[in-house]
Every structure is written in C-alpha cells, then in structure tokens.
A and B are shown apart, each in its own frame.
Chain A
Amino acid sequence: MHQILSSTRNIDFMGQRKLAMFFSGALIVIALTSLLLRGLSFGIDFTGGTLIEVGYEQPVELDAVRKVLAENGFEDAQVQQFGTPRDLLIRLAPREGVKSSELSDKVFAALKQAAEGKLELRRVEFVGPQVGDELTEDGALAVLVALMAILMYVAVRFEWRFAVGSVAALVHDVIITLGFFSVTQLEFDLTVLAAVLAVIGYSLNDTIVVFDRIRENFRKIRKGDSEQIINTSLNQTLSRTLITSLTTLIVLLALFFLGGEIIHNFSLALILGIVVGTYSSIYVASTTALALGVSKADLMPVQKEGARLDDMP
C-alpha cells in the first residue's frame, strides 16, 4: 500500500493554530496593504480600453514598434511581448476624438505599413469604459453572491459556526489571491476573476470534506474535547486533501505551461488559490469554527426528535 502519509501519524494541527493564525494574519495584512496602496493592475475588461495582439513574421524590436506608434500619434501605447518575440501586445487607453472602435484599425494600419513582411492581426479586444464599470460591478457582485449562497448552504447542512468558518477560509483565500496579483502587478482580467471564483468553489470543496469528517467524529467519538476531535478529523482527511490538491495541481501545471498565454494568469491564480485553499481548509476553517466554540452538542443528530414526533399518533 503506497501512502503519502501514514494514518497513524498524528499531527497536532490545532496546537499550531496560533502560529498559523500569525502566518495567515501576516499574509492578509500584506495583501490588504498592497491592495489599498497599489491596487490591482486591472485589464481592459474592467478599465475599458483597447488591446491589440499582432503577429510578425520575424522577431521584432519593441522600441521600433513604439517609435512607429508614437509617430502615428499613439504615444501612450503600451507595447509588450506576448509569448514569443514575434507576438506583440499593444494596449491603448480610451481616447478623445477617435471613435474607440476605430482605434484598433488605425493602430493596425500604422503597424502594417511599417512592418517588414506580413503582419497578422491576431486579436483585438475593445471594451468601452461603461461596459468596464459594469463588468467590475458584476464581478464583485458574483463573488459576494457566491459567498452568501455558500454560507447559507453550509449553515443549513451543517451549523452556523461551520458556515462562518468556511466563509472565513474563503475570504482568506480570495484576499491572498488578490493580494498576490496586487503585489506582482500581474494583469487582473475577467479570466482571473473566473479563476478566483473557481478557487472559492475548490477551497470550499476541501473545507466541506474536513467539516464532514468533524461532524461524523463528533457523533461517533465519545472521548476527547473538540480540539482533539478536530485534530483527529484533520489527520484522517489529510491524505485525501493532499492527493486531491496534487492531482488538481498536476492538471493546472499542464494548463499553465501548455495552455497558451491567454490563460496564463488564469492558471496561475488557480494554482495559487489551490495551494492557499488547501492550507486554509486545514488551518483557517477549522480554527475559526473552534474559536466560535463549536462543540459536540451542536452537531448531535436532531433526527431522533423528529422521528419520535412522527411516531406519535
């Protein structure tokens, strides 16, 4: 029998909760500080603007392209390589006097004229400022609604302390993932937002599995206090937690390295989220539930009472 961890090993997770809390607290402070001071480097999905991806036949000098653009009145254009030295990404803020939907045409025409050999228009994305605002609102709303819906489901299926614990873990994961994108100033676009929501789903998956076991053990094991039972449950589910995270990470790494530039940040957000999510389902979710004073009495099955009522004539 192969095993990553022997089941007889008993790690005192709850004993380390002070350390974990300090660690999480420090990460959250860094993340929030960065989010407040530097903010996120929002992509055009949220800010509005124009993005053009062009493919040259030969590798091309960024400065030369910048010069061509500046000569044609696009001094504010940001030019960067995208994946290969032959592919360039050009970003433009919305501007006065030009119909925004025509901006990309003008830029491409200017580049094409200056390019040696063929120039290919690979991608154009234009988002009006108003649509950008709406996407930002909708995105924030999606995160909030998802959190609320999950809070309710867990509260109904388990108990409110668990619900708070799982949401605390989710908020923890979301803040740290956003913080990472703020510190690194990697572009935050719609796909990254989708990844953040998927992280919520995934991290919760992990947390629920742990809670499920805690609930089961509260009902089954008579000896021991809450802390001990939570520790036992965490140890029992540990190998599952790690293996699932591992298989998910395997596919995400495949996506990160092979999936192409467009979903690079998407995969990165997921990879980070899954690492943080695995950690938080062990330390944050259970610690919070414990701190809120979850105990055996809260999770004893209530069905018996109901059953007795049904039996009454």
Chain B
Amino acid sequence: MLNQYPLWKNLMVVLVLLLGLLYALPNLYGQDPAVAVSGVRGAVVDEALQQKLEKALKEAGVAVKSMEMKDGRLLIRFGSTTDQQKSQHVIANTLGENYSYALTMAANVPGWLTALGGQPMNLGLDLRGGIHVLIDVDMETAIKDKVEAYTGDIRTALRNNKIRYLTVKAEGEGINIKFKDEKTRDKALDVLAEEFRNLGVEPLEKDGAWYVRMIMPPAEIRATKKFALQQNITTIRNRVNALGVAEPLVQQQGERRIVVELPGVQDPTQVKNILGATATLEYRLVDTEHDAFEAKESGKIPPGSRLYRVREDGRPILLKKRVIVTGNQITDAASGFDQRSGSPMVTVSLDSKGARRMRNVTTENVGKPMAVVFKETRVVGRDAEGKPVKRQVEEVISVANILEPFGRRFQTTGLDSPQEAHELALLLRAGALAAPIDIVEERTIGPSLGADNIKQGFLSVVIGLLLVMVFMVAYYRVFGLFADAALITNLVLIVAILSLLQATLTLPGIAGIVLTVGMAVDANVLIYERIREELRVGSTPQAAIHAGYEKAFSTIMDANITTLIAAVVLFSIGSGPVKGFAVTLAIGIITSMFTSIVGTRALVNLVYGGKRVKKLAI
C-alpha cells in the first residue's frame, strides 16, 4: 500500500519527539537566586560547613529554599533575590578566609529530570553577562628567564669543580662562557657536558678568545614553554577561585593562550587587576662589600651583584645575584599589621625546599642584611608592530638584618598600604605566574545587556517562526500545517540537543536558530512543489505524494550537505561568536532534515495514506 509507514517508523518519530520534549523541558523551569560556596587553598566544603551555614542563616532570619552539594561546592538556593542579598553578609561572616562564595542563579529543575540528564541550555556570556578575557603568555620572557636561571647553575657548577671562568653571558637561547685559555676551556667542556646533559654544549672560538657555548635544544624549549603555560593556567585558576565566581572557565587555547570566562562578574577592573598581576617576591642577600652609590655613579657593578633601588627613598642598593627563594616557593601568605610598627605586612610560608634553603642561608649569614625584592611586569606602551612593550619593575621593599636563622614562616614589611599587603598576599597565595601575561582580548557584557539580548533574541525567533507558519498554511493549506508541525518539532529538537550537549547558546547562536527556521521549511517547499508538479501532470494524489518525497530527497540532501560543509568550516576556523552561530546552524540543518522529511511524511501518511483520496489540500 502506498504512503503508509511501518509501525517502527511511526514509533521512531514519536520517540524522537518525546525525547526532544523531555530534554528541552529543563529550559522551561525558572532559576533560583543562589549562593555558591567553594573552598580555596584546599579547604573542603563538607557537611559540617553546611550545618554551620544553615544555623547561621536561620539565626539571621534568612529563609533558605534548599542546600545541595555538587562538584565539591555547596549551592544554597533562596526564594527571592532579597534573601540572596541578605544572606551574603551572614555567609561572609560565617565562612572565614578559607572559603569563597559567589552570587549566582541556579536552574530550578526537578530531581527526576536531572537524574535523567536533563539540564537547561548553557547560556553564553553575551546572554547572561560576564567577562571573557584571552590571555597571551609571554613565551620569549619565559625562555629568557630559563636561560638566566641556567647561567646561575653554570657558575655554581664551574665553581664547584674549581674551574676559573671569565664571564657567563646569556645570548639568545643559549649561554656563552668565556675562559682565559684553551686548556681551561676544554676542561670546562667536559664538566659542563657531564653536568648539563639536557643542554647542547659546544666549543667556540671568537675574537681570539675561548668559549663554551651552551644551547637549549628544541625539546627543552618546548618543555619550558609547556611548563610556563601549564603553570600559568594553574595560577590563574587559583586566582579566579579566590575571586569567588560561580562557574568560572579557565582553558588553554592554542600553544600560548589562555581563555578565562567569568559569568556574572560585574567588575571587570578588579578581575583584570588580579588576573594580570605579575607581582611576586624574591629574597636576596645584600652585597655589603661594595658601595652601592659608587657602583651607580661609575656604572661598575661588581660581578655577582645587581643594582636595585629602594622603593621608600629611591636610594641604590647592591644585592647578590643569587636568589634565596622566589615566589614559586611560597605556599601561603596572609596580610596583617606589624605589631611593633603598625605598618602593613605579609606573613609568608615556604615549601620544604624553600624553607631548607632559607634556613641554610640565614644560618650562615646571621647579622647580615637581607632584602625583599618586589617584582612586577608592567606594560608601558606599544611598539610599531603593536606588540606590547613591557618593563619589569623591580624594587626593594624591605631590608632587614637577619637576627636569627629562620625557615618556614616569616614576615615581610615595607609595603605601601594595607591594600597592597592584601593584594600581594592574595597573589602570593595563588602562586606566581611562570611567565608574564598580557590580556589580548576582552569582552565584557553587562547584566542588563545580557537580559536584553535574550529578550530580543527570543522575540525575533518567535515572531519569525509565527510569520513563516502563517505563510506556510496560507500557501500550502493542510500540507502547510504539516510543515508547521515539523518546524515546531525542529525547534524543540534544537533546544533539546543544545541542552544535552551543553553547547553554549550565544546571540549569534540564536541568529543561527532563526536562520534555520527560515531554511528548514525549504525541504518542505521542495517536496510540496514536487507534489504539485506531479499532480499537474495528472498523477493520482497518492502517487504524487510518493513521487514528491522520492524525487525531492536527493536535492534536499545535496543542498543541506553543502550548507553543512559551510557550517563545519565556520566551526573549525571561526572563533567565539562565529562558533556559536555555526553550532546551532549545523544542529538545525540535521534536525530539520529529520523533521521535514521523516516527520512530515509520517503526518501525511497518517492523514492521507492508505485511503482513496480525490484531492489534496496543497
């Protein structure tokens, strides 16, 4: 019999429709104002904390709707934003500094639906508001720092082996070590090749002098870059967590970039300051054998020392080149006030390696002064090619005599303000950046614009849909109704798939949906025009329907596959906003093929199939 679907096909259509409805459903539920609590510095969010908060909120008279633990975070839901606002103060006072909290909105999806994997669509930053930054890691500096670190190690190695060298100089991605004669050089060559197996070592004669040239091999450079990127991602993640953002995203992009997305954040200035801050501390011994003023005047810096300036009064000071500990070795830091002087200070804790070194150095140097260097990289301008010009600011913030050996914990004073002490402590806690970073792209969307975007996007989808539906019914009558049913199903399926994949819906994504609505009816137009043609040449209604679907099929496939190619290219090459558009366009093409071919056919068969039909309402 012509135009009848086997039962399984009808069941499949019904099943797809039901699944679509089920997974699109979570989007219909509203959102609860909520507060998300998470631990920083390894603090765990547990039952005890939950009870403590519950009690505190109850005492303060703030009505809590529910509390739940999810992914190591505690989500507290409220009935109204007023309660949410009121809770803020209570929660802040109860938590203490090992926890951070963030105001957020939590989807109010019933438990049975969540258990089935139902989640609402993930809204992009342009729809919910928030800040997106793209961070570029300065790999050139990372390499330079690494080379610089090697020069220190090389000096030590030569000294330990009692080989006299003239100079050790970093040049590009390598180091040139100068010796007074060939014999010393050859001896050094063996020692260095033995001690630095990961570096390339070769002899070099230049301008009548003997050198050893040590080069970082490509594998070592790659490893250094990878380490710098990974370390920076970790550090940035720590900093973001300390900021207290509900659903932060920190992700690698390409070989030297990091994407940070912080939904709902309203103060971009603060975020950028914290993310981009490169401030760290270094502890060095003061060179007391030479006069700093004289060195500055004459420009003759004693080997093994470097000239710095003291922040307080700008006077010069000579410090030993060897660093005792760096910011990397700091495990914890807290700001406070020095009890004696009342000035702001930071209490620093070191890791075991750093603590051991600190103890060794301080034991050997009791009574001698030690300096704390505050290092920060600032972008001071741009060169002709638009690349940022950076300057590393290094200032000595405090000089103090070592009164007694110390190790794991100690204080640093000499900071300008409590604010600076607080920020420095935060940065030290989160860890230092392994290489300087630069924010190369920022997109911030205010909350009201996000809401406007959703409203306008939704409105244009609805109006566009209605207009097309009216047109289809007017033009194709009953068959127009079938197409309309397919169109609505298509929309439900797109929403369901976006929700299931947890793909991010953006404003261009909504535009993609709108465009799909217009193009989805194309398949039906093709089929219906074919049916009309068949009727015109005198086919029976049943034969016309059959031939219409049959003949239009390959055309529809070809047309859609080519559009799909464009969407895939868009997705793979495009960035941010373009991707969102490509995703919904691609999903829409695929679902529309199902709904407008299989879906409408099921309806047509149901209404017309298997009976004598004199005339089609097309």
Q: Which residues of A contact B (CB under 8 A)?
A: 1-3, 7, 48, 53, 55, 94-97, 99-102, 104-105, 120-131, 135, 138-139, 141-142, 145-146, 149-150, 153-154, 157, 190-191, 193-194, 197-198, 200-202, 204-206, 208-209, 212-213, 216, 236-237, 239-240, 243-244, 246-252, 254-255, 257-260, 262-263, 266-267, 270
Contacts and interface: CB of A to CB of B under 8 A. Distances in A.
B386 A153 contact: no
Given A100-B439, A258-B456, A142 B555 contact: no
B519 A260 contact: no
9 contacts: A95-B382, A101-B276, A141-B573, A146-B569, A157-B558, A194-B582, A201-B562, A205-B559, A260-B453
Contacts of B272: 101-102, 105
Top 8 A-B residue pairs of the complex, sorted by shortest distance between their CB atoms: A129-B386, A201-B566, A251-B464, A128-B440, A248-B518, A254-B464, A251-B518, A260-B456
A128 B136 CA distance: 10
Interface string B341-374: 0000000000000000000000000000000000
A251 B446 contact: no
Given A1-B618, A247-B525, A122 B532 contact: no
Contact of B517 (A123, A157, A197, A251): A251
Most buried by B among A102, A128, A145, A213: A128
B539 to A, nearest CB: 14
B43 to A, nearest CB: 31
Chain B binding surface SS class: helix
Contacts of B115: none
B467 interface: yes
A260 to B, nearest CB: 4
Given A102-B272, A157-B558, A252-B514, A198 B578 contact: no
B471 A247 contact: yes
Given A243-B529, A254-B463, 9 more contacts: A105-B268, A122-B446, A124-B444, A126-B443, A150-B562, A197-B574, A197-B578, A243-B525, A260-B456
B138 to A, nearest CB: 12
B438 interface: yes
Given A125-B443, A194-B570, A208 B514 contact: no
Interface of B: 126, 133-134, 136, 268-269, 272, 276, 378-382, 386-388, 438-446, 448-449, 452-453, 456-457, 459-460, 463-465, 467-468, 471-472, 474-475, 507-508, 510-511, 514-515, 517-519, 521-522, 525-526, 529, 532-533, 536, 551, 554-555, 558-563, 565-567, 569-570, 573-578, 581-582, 585, 618
Given A101-B439, A251-B468, A204 B563 contact: yes
Nearest to B580: A194
Given A53-B449, A124-B268, A247-B472, A202 B569 contact: no
A250 B276 CA distance: 46
A244 B460 CA distance: 19
A263 B382 contact: no
Given A7-B536, A105-B268, A254-B464, A240 B443 contact: no
B529 A190 contact: no
Contacts of B467: 250-251, 254
B390 to A, nearest CB: 10
A252 B508 contact: no
Contact of A259 (B268, B460, B536): B460
A194 B532 CA distance: 36
B560 to A, nearest CB: 8
Given A197-B566, A201-B562, A212-B554, A138 B574 contact: yes
Contacts of B555: 208-209, 212-213
Contacts of B526: 209, 240, 244
B561 A153 contact: yes
A72 to B, nearest CB: 16
B575 to A, nearest CB: 7
| Interface SS, A side | helix
Contact of B574 (A99, A194, A202, A260): A194
Contact of A127 (B441, B456, B529, B567): B441
Given A121-B444, A201-B567, A251-B517, A193 B463 contact: no
Contacts of A200: 566
A213 B456 CA distance: 39
B515 A248 contact: yes
Contact of B577 (A127, A190, A236): A190
Contacts of B456: 258-260
A193 B578 contact: yes
B569 to A, nearest CB: 4
B533 A236 contact: yes
B575 A197 contact: no
Contacts of A7: 532-533, 536
A249 B517 CA distance: 11
A263 to B, nearest CB: 5
Q: Which of A206, A246, A251 has the most CB of B within 10 A?
A: A251
Nearest to A137: B573
Nearest to B387: A130
Nearest to A239: B529
A251 to B, nearest CB: 3
B563 A205 contact: yes
A190 B585 contact: no
Contact of A209 (B269, B449, B508, B559): B559
B476 to A, nearest CB: 8
A255 B582 CA distance: 17
A138 B566 contact: no
Given A104-B268, A142-B574, A150-B565, A260 B464 contact: no
Contacts of A135: 575
A128 B387 CA distance: 9
Nearest to B379: A99
